[in-house]
Amino acid sequence: MAHLTRSTRTVTIATGLAVAALLAGCTADGPGAATPSSAAPGATTATSTATPTPTPRALSATDPTAPFDQVEAARWFDGVADDVTTLLGLDSTPPGMTVHLDAETSQNHLVTLKSLAAGDYSFHLACRGGGTLELAVTSGGTASLVIDGPCTGELTSGDFTAAEGGTEFRFTATGDPIDVALHYSPAAP
């Protein structure tokens, strides 16, 4: 292996640093230095600055001027689950889903249950917020509108039939933000 002399080593290191600086876009005058322009003298050049797009943030169903509070909403969802469990006289909470809808994030939400066995079911739903909820259940190619109206915070129950191949729950909100908690159970005989 050849040994480099001190001057060769210095040139090699200096060249490597210069290449690294060029690749990084640095100049000898620092990051604030002007860059040369290829425009003719006296000509103006346009530069574009990227405008950041604000990230949508979910808004609260209880106060549409405030951000969505996931912890507070979880407490409400848990309360609805407890109410449904008590209403049905069950030892454990029946399966279900929770949805937050608002114009800042999404006013549409689709849940597909492919493994829900065919049969008759009851749903138990609570909705809060100043908006309106439309809930359609589609099963076996047939859609049924099961809820259509303002959110009142009250527990509402109804029935639906699940067919082989899956069942879809399509939540659509209009107006102010809403929170929805839905649980389902086999229909009572």
* One-letter amino acid of 51: T
Question: Considering the domain boundaries, does residue 50 fall inside one?
Answer: no
Identify the pLDDT of residue 20: 38
Q: Which residues of 101-126 are buried (b: 16+ CB within 10 A; e: fewer)?
A: bbbeeebebeeeeeebeeeebbbbbb
Q: What is the CATH number of the domain that holds 136?
A: 2.60.120.380
Residue 100 to residue 45: CA distance in whole angstroms: 48
Total domains present in the chain: 1
CA 177 from centre of chain: 14
Question: Considering the domain boundaries, does residue 102 fall inside one?
Answer: yes
Domain span at residue 103? 70-186
Tell me the average pLDDT across 172-188.
94
SS (H, E, C) 144-170: EEEEEEECCCCEEEEEEEECCCCEEEE
Question: Considering the domain boundaries, does residue 48 fall inside one?
Answer: no
| Closest to 96 (Cα-Cα) out of 150, 157, 151 | 157
> What is the tens place of the pLDDT at every residue in 74-119?
999 999 999 999 999 999 999 999 999 999 889 999 999 998 999 9
In the sheet with 178-186, reading across from the earlier edge strand, the strands are: 96-101, 178-186, 119-129, 155-162
3-state secondary structure of 87: helix
Question: Considering the domain boundaries, does residue 26 fall inside one?
Answer: no
Question: Considering the domain boundaries, does residue 42 fall inside one?
Answer: no
Question: Considering the domain boundaries, does residue 180 fall inside one?
Answer: yes
* One-letter amino acid of 173: A
Beta-carbon contacts of residue 71 (< 8 Å; ≥ 6 apart): none
Residue 170 to residue 111: CA distance in whole angstroms: 7
> What is the tens place of the pLDDT at every residue in 30-42?
444 444 444 444 4
Beta strands in 63-177 (DSSP E): 96-101, 108-113, 119-129, 132-139, 142-150, 155-162, 167-174
Question: Considering the domain boundaries, does residue 21 fall inside one?
Answer: no
Tokens of 52: 């950041």
Question: Considering the domain boundaries, does residue 75 fall inside one?
Answer: yes
At residue 151, does pLDDT exceed 60? Answer: yes
Mean pLDDT, the chain, integer? 78
